[in-house]
Amino acid sequence: MGRENFDDHWDLSEFNDADFTCTISNIHFVAIRNNDNTTSATGRRANRWNIFLQTSADSCIMLDMIPGSSPLHGSLKVGSKGSIYTDEQIKVISSTIRGINVTLNDIANLIVACGRHKYKFNDNAEGCRHWVTIVAHDLEEACYIFPGVSAEVKEAASTYWIDPDGSEPCPIAEGTFLA
């Protein structure tokens, strides 16, 4: 799989093509710090969630479902990073990869096979936490992560992680997967 196999639902602008074949050792599900503890249009406080595919001790591939050309239609941003994840994390759920020589190609093929690259945020432009929890479930079903990790991700994503510490319940706003 190369760039030519990714449709307009993907954003590869920050991706290094050499990373297509890098072996993934760990998958990290990461809540990003909401520095000002600001609320959304619905009055809720929530953390943004991303998935980081660790390829070495100091590099990873980030998967981030973001609003695309239309504010509600998602674009799956794939970026090469020179760190394991981000220094803006406030909560991390990790799993060692189950399998040998699993690459971005394998994960991307799963995402496409499950239709997870075609996503629409809800009317309040919320839904990245829902996307992450569903992809975590897909990864677990495909035996890429260990049993129970997706439930742990869903529980953590159902919580707002307050900066600098503390937490409160935060129901997951759902988007829609498109056919």
Q: Where are the domains of the chain?
A: 5-177
What length is written for the chain? 179
Give the distance, in angstroms, between the CA of residue 147 and the centroid of all CA atoms in the same chain: 18
- Cβ distance 32 to 86 under 8 Å? yes
Q: How confident is the model at residue 1 (pLDDT cuts 50, 70, 90)?
A: low
179 pLDDT more than 90: no
Rg (CA), the chain: 15
What pLDDT was estimated at residue 3? 83
DSSP annotation of 103? B
Do the beta carbons of residue 48 and residue 128 sit within 8 Å? yes
Average pLDDT (107-128) is 94
* Model pLDDT for residues 78-111, shown as the tens digit of each residue: 999 999 888 899 999 999 999 899 999 999 999 9
Q: What is the predicted pLDDT for the residue at 172?
A: 96
Distances, alpha carbon 80 to alpha carbons 13, 39, 44, 129, 176, in Å: 10, 29, 31, 21, 27
Strand residues in 33-128 grouped as ranges (E): 48-56, 59-67, 74-81, 89-96, 119-120
User: Looking at residue 33, what is its pLDDT?
Assistant: 94
CB 44 within 8 A of CB 8: no
- In angstroms, rounded to a whole number, what is the distance separating the alpha carbons of residues 14 and 42? 31
